[in-house]
A and B are shown apart, each in its own frame.
Chain A
């Protein structure tokens, strides 16, 4: 289309009046289309970020209550209890706990008493025993023991069980609510921070379940993963970047690495199950197998990251080192690698953070076992944080809903921490050439 009809080239083309209403409305339409596209883009971003916000806030909303736990603080005088000091483990702790609880609300009938004992965790006897074993001087005096309330009453205390629902539809009876209110008015019930969430291992009872086993299992797995994938990944990257001849084999290796980085994680789990457990006979559910599988998964990413950061070191550094008589190895290990290290570390920490959140391969090698004590090493059966979340999410008890969210918040906390360290390293040490 032309602007001036008088031009020789455009003889016969009708002149366009750009100010006509037709053209004005056409322009308007075009600009509206432009604005529409912009609006769609904004809506897309708002959708994605809104989802993120809903995700995080719903987790905080459901999870925050698990960071406190309702407990009863009960004073027990053990000096009169007739506990045999030589056989602490076999003493009648159950009787001691029940006696002390009975003293708080005396005069209950037998069936009421049973309902009353249901309000406290069923493992109160073990809590008492462990406390005394840890501090035997408690046998000589009156001391206060902290006994968690059972899950339904923890929720009652937190207001998650409404008193208005008909009695038949809730897990606590009206009578139990009456006894609970009596305990509250006596000042026995309190709600301190739930340290058990971090220092207890898994349990079938929500009020006792904690993440200690999962956190240490994840720690051991990541340690194995790091110890294997970090040196091997760097060595492979250096070889491919600096030494490898250009031939069919190295091309194949490169295509391979790119493909491995996109293989679904569950396939690595199958590999671990068939090879490490099936052929090598390694222990099931052990962090060593989990770490091995995770290291196979992180290796390709780590190699790619390391190669990029080796590439970013200018060749003048290498040439200067070679110029003063360093061997090729010396130039790389004394000069190029240290300069690339901050970027490599950043990449390594980010891939470890990915490995920390990975659960599918760990499920296949059995790291979703029910284990009530944290592992002492890489050969003992344990769970990991994401698999623990998966198990708790599957648990029917209502208390586990809040605990699952809380466990997710803990996992996200670790991820934020690791990524924060990575960003710090990048900003503090990374050089732009």
Chain B
């Protein structure tokens, strides 16, 4: 339905643009003296008046329709006033299922009646929406056509609309951030009403496998974030141990030692590593790296877990190499030539220049890059979801399995849509932690990079 309405609006806008254009041409021809805007602006103006208010109305309608229909249907079910929110949401989803014809068992007569009610309301709502949108478009078109005249400032009006759209678009960036913050804080707040804040922040046990139903056999549940955070930093640390030296050394080789042709070939190849989807790395870690580490550990007499932190961390490290490499590359390039040449003039070798002059001068930039890479490692999801473990453990052994924040978020939320038990809400609390940690890392990194750039 809304698809047809969108097509209708697009078509209406196009035809109105054409009509407005030709009408303006006619008025301009008949006009005495100067005209203000070219005819096409009059056409565009009419098109904007036709489509934009109607489109906004359509969006608002779509957002509120389901809530209103649900309320009406719920009000029509006898005894529903006493339901708590989760019971009524379960009831409503059953009604929707019945209304769309998915019958798993014979529904009760109340549900059947509610489904019929739901269907009729949906039908009425669809017609009402179509009518409202059409009326809005017609009023807009009428108004737009009415103002056409040789002195009407159609160009200003069109440009104002465009500017407003552009302002809204740039405000969207803030809206997204606000959306992230509010949704995380909102759901996390619900979580903290069920699990005390201090237990979450300082608890040493993470066992979210709690009973979903009263009769289920499961643990008590413990929501202490420390072991999860610890696992995240263990895996990130392994990744950084792999990525930092490799990235910086490869950047040194590519900027200082290699032939330009070699660089032209190798640099894009390195960038491919950053372009490979993370799900591919995850599969590779499970399929190749983890068994290899296990075999190696076995040969050396160590017991390695099949989803060891080392496998996930090492693969993640390789993924991050290009970030560190290209950011160090930029940092080296920003060191002024004079410093390098001064060092050569004193008789230093290339290696000495790099170690004693270039690296210290580029250090803030490199540190910024490493922090950005660290934030990426902390937030990386697919590799650890596939290759790391599920059990939170406080261990220093990289061959043991640990879990991370992102793994827990994904496993807690897959296949669960109800926001009323601590298990799903815990994912949002973890998301909030992840957001704050990466935000701090990013801010420090961006600050370091910017401060360093002002230096030379």
The chain A residues found within 8 Å of chain B, CB to CB, are 30-31, 33-38, 40-45, 47-49, 51-52, 54-55, 58-59, 62, 231-233, 235-236, 238-240, 243-244, 250, 252-253, 255-260, 262-268, 270-271, 273-275, 277-278, 280-281, 284, 296, 299-300, 303, 327, 329, 333, 353-354, 356-360, 363-364, 366, 368, 377, 386-387, 389-390, 393, 401, 404-405, 408, 411-412, 415, 419
A296/B183 contact (C-beta < 8 A), A34-B349, A41-B252, A253-B170 known: no
Residues 147 to 164 of chain B near chain A (Cβ within 8 Å):
155, 159, 162-163
Q: Which 5 A-B pairs have the closest CB atoms?
A: A264-B379, A41-B253, A357-B277, A34-B351, A239-B166
**Are the CB atoms of B266 and A404 closer together than 8 Å?**
no
Give the Cβ gap from A343 to chain B, nearest Cβ, in Å.
Answer: 18
12 residue pairs of the A-B complex, CB under 8 angstroms, read A33-B352, A48-B321, A265-B379, A266-B431, A271-B183, A281-B67, A329-B159, A359-B277, A364-B414, A389-B280, A401-B287, A415-B277
A353/B275 contact (C-beta < 8 A), A49-B266, A363-B414 known: yes
**Are the CB atoms of A37 and B162 closer together than 8 Å?**
no
Per DSSP, chain A at the interface is helix
B192 sits at the interface (CB 8 A):
no
> In the complex, what distance in Å separates the CA atom of A54 from the CA atom of B280?
13
Residues 83 to 98 of chain B near chain A (Cβ within 8 Å):
none
**Are the CB atoms of A52 and B269 closer together than 8 Å?**
yes
Return chain B residues, CB-CB under 8 Å to A47.
Answer: 246
The chain B residues found within 8 Å of chain A, CB to CB, are 3, 63, 66-67, 155, 159, 162-163, 165-167, 169-174, 176-177, 179-180, 183-184, 186-187, 245-247, 249-250, 252-254, 257, 266, 269-270, 272-273, 275-284, 286-288, 318, 321-322, 325, 349-352, 354-355, 372, 375-376, 378-382, 385-386, 406, 409-410, 413-415, 417, 419, 427-428, 431, 434-435, 438-439, 442-443, 446
Return chain A residues, CB-CB under 8 Å to B379.
Answer: 263-267
A266-B406, A270-B427, A359-B382 are known; give 10 further A-B pairs, CB within 8 A: A37-B354, A55-B276, A58-B287, A262-B442, A271-B179, A357-B275, A357-B277, A360-B406, A364-B409, A393-B283
Give the Cβ gap from A247 to chain B, nearest Cβ, in Å.
Answer: 13
A270/B183 contact (C-beta < 8 A), A34-B350, A44-B250, A47-B246 known: yes
Give the Cβ gap from A141 to chain B, nearest Cβ, in Å.
Answer: 39
Most central of B284, B372, B415 by chain A CB within 10 Å:
B284
Return chain B residues, CB-CB under 8 Å to A253.
Answer: 170-171, 173-174
CB-nearest residue of chain B to A272: B183
Interface contacts (Cβ under 8 Å), in number, total: 259
**Are the CB atoms of A266 and B183 closer together than 8 Å?**
no
CB-nearest residue of chain A to B438: A264
Most central of B173, B252, B275, B277 by chain A CB within 10 Å:
B173
Of the residues B3, B282, B351, B417, contact of A33 by C-beta under 8 Å: B351
**Are the CB atoms of B176 and A299 closer together than 8 Å?**
yes
Per DSSP, chain B at the interface is helix
Most central of A231, A233, A259, A333 by chain B CB within 10 Å:
A259
Return chain A residues, CB-CB under 8 Å to B3.
Answer: 377
CB-nearest residue of chain B to A354: B275
Return chain B residues, CB-CB under 8 Å to A41.
Answer: 249-250, 252-254, 257
Return chain A residues, CB-CB under 8 Å to B439.
Answer: 259, 263
Return chain B residues, CB-CB under 8 Å to A360.
Answer: 278, 381-382, 385, 406, 410
> In the complex, what distance in Å separates the CA atom of A278 from the CA atom of B186?
12
Give the Cβ gap from A79 to chain B, nearest Cβ, in Å.
Answer: 38
Return chain B residues, CB-CB under 8 Å to A263.
Answer: 180, 379, 435, 438-439
CB-nearest residue of chain B to A262: B442
**Are the CB atoms of B431 and A45 closer together than 8 Å?**
no
**Are the CB atoms of B381 and A265 closer together than 8 Å?**
yes
**Are the CB atoms of B283 and A281 closer together than 8 Å?**
no
> In the complex, what distance in Å separates the CA atom of A40 from the CA atom of B252?
10
**Are the CB atoms of B162 and A329 closer together than 8 Å?**
yes
A327/B276 contact (C-beta < 8 A), A42-B253, A58-B287 known: no
Give the Cβ gap from B71 to chain A, nearest Cβ, in Å.
Answer: 12
Return chain A residues, CB-CB under 8 Å to B174.
Answer: 252-253, 256
**Are the CB atoms of A264 and B171 closer together than 8 Å?**
no
**Are the CB atoms of A45 and B270 closer together than 8 Å?**
yes
Of the residues B163, B283, B325, B446, contact of A408 by C-beta under 8 Å: B283
A364/B410 contact (C-beta < 8 A), A52-B272, A263-B180 known: yes
> In the complex, what distance in Å separates the CA atom of A284 from the CA atom of B416?
11
CB-nearest residue of chain A to B183: A274
> In the complex, what distance in Å separates the CA atom of A415 from the CA atom of B280?
12
Return chain A residues, CB-CB under 8 Å to B183.
Answer: 270-271, 274-275, 278
Return chain A residues, CB-CB under 8 Å to B386.
Answer: 390, 393
CB-nearest residue of chain A to B292: A54
> In the complex, what distance in Å separates the CA atom of A39 from the CA atom of B270?
18
A55/B284 contact (C-beta < 8 A), A271-B183, A274-B428 known: yes
**Are the CB atoms of A38 and B288 closer together than 8 Å?**
no
